[in-house]
Amino acid sequence: MGRQQKTILFLCTGNYYRSRFAEVLFVSVATKMGLPWSASSRGLALERGVNNVGPMAVAAIKTLETMGIRDAERCGRLPAQVTADDLEKTDVVIALKHAEHLPLLQERFPAFAEKVEFWHVDDAPDALPLIQSKIMDVVARLLGGGGEAAPQESVEPEKKPTKDVPKKPITVKVGRETAGRRGKGVTTVFDVPLDEGGLLDLAAKLKQRCGTGGTVKDGRIEIQGDQRERIVVELEKLGFKAKRVGG
Residues 138 and 176 in one domain: no
Residues 103 and 193 in one domain: no
Average pLDDT for 91-117: 95
- In the chain, the percentage of residues whose pLDDT exceeds 70 is 87
**In-domain check, residue 57:** yes
- In the chain, the percentage of residues whose pLDDT exceeds 90 is 55
Can you give the CATH number for the domain in which 183 is found? 3.30.780.10
**In-domain check, residue 160:** no
Can you give the CATH number for the domain in which 26 is found? 3.40.50.2300
The total number of structural domains in the chain stands at: 2
**In-domain check, residue 106:** yes
Residues 216 and 128 in one domain: no
The CA distance from 227 to 237, in Å, is 15
- Does pLDDT of 165 surpass 70? no
Q: Higher model confidence: residue 95 or residue 182?
A: 95
Q: What is the pLDDT of residue 164?
A: 46
Q: What is the pLDDT of residue 153?
A: 41
Q: What is the pLDDT of residue 182?
A: 63
Q: What is the pLDDT of residue 180?
A: 67
Q: What is the pLDDT of residue 151?
A: 42
Residues 120 and 17 in one domain: yes
Average pLDDT for 117-141: 93
The last residue of one of the domains, among 127, 143, 159, is 143
Residues 128 and 176 in one domain: no
Residues 49 and 115 in one domain: yes
Residues 44 and 127 in one domain: yes
How many C-beta atoms surround the C-beta of residue 204 within 10 A? 14
Strands 214-217 and 186-190: unpaired
Burial letters for 227-241: b for 16+ Cβ neighbours within 10 Å, e otherwise? bbebbbebbebbbbb
Per-residue pLDDT band for 236 (boundaries 50, 70, 90) equals confident
Residues 87 and 31 in one domain: yes
Q: What is the pTM assigned to this prediction?
A: 0.65
**In-domain check, residue 1:** no
Residues 104 and 195 in one domain: no
Task: Say how many CA atoms lie within 13 Å of 222 toward its Cβ.
Answer: 12
Q: What is the pLDDT of residue 121?
A: 95
Per-residue pLDDT band for 71 (boundaries 50, 70, 90) equals very high
Residues 67 and 131 in one domain: yes
**In-domain check, residue 151:** no
**In-domain check, residue 190:** yes
Q: What is the pLDDT of residue 54?
A: 92
Give the domain extent around 235: 171-244
Q: What is the pLDDT of residue 167?
A: 47
Residues 97 and 15 in one domain: yes
Most confident of 8-17, 123-132, 202-211: 8-17
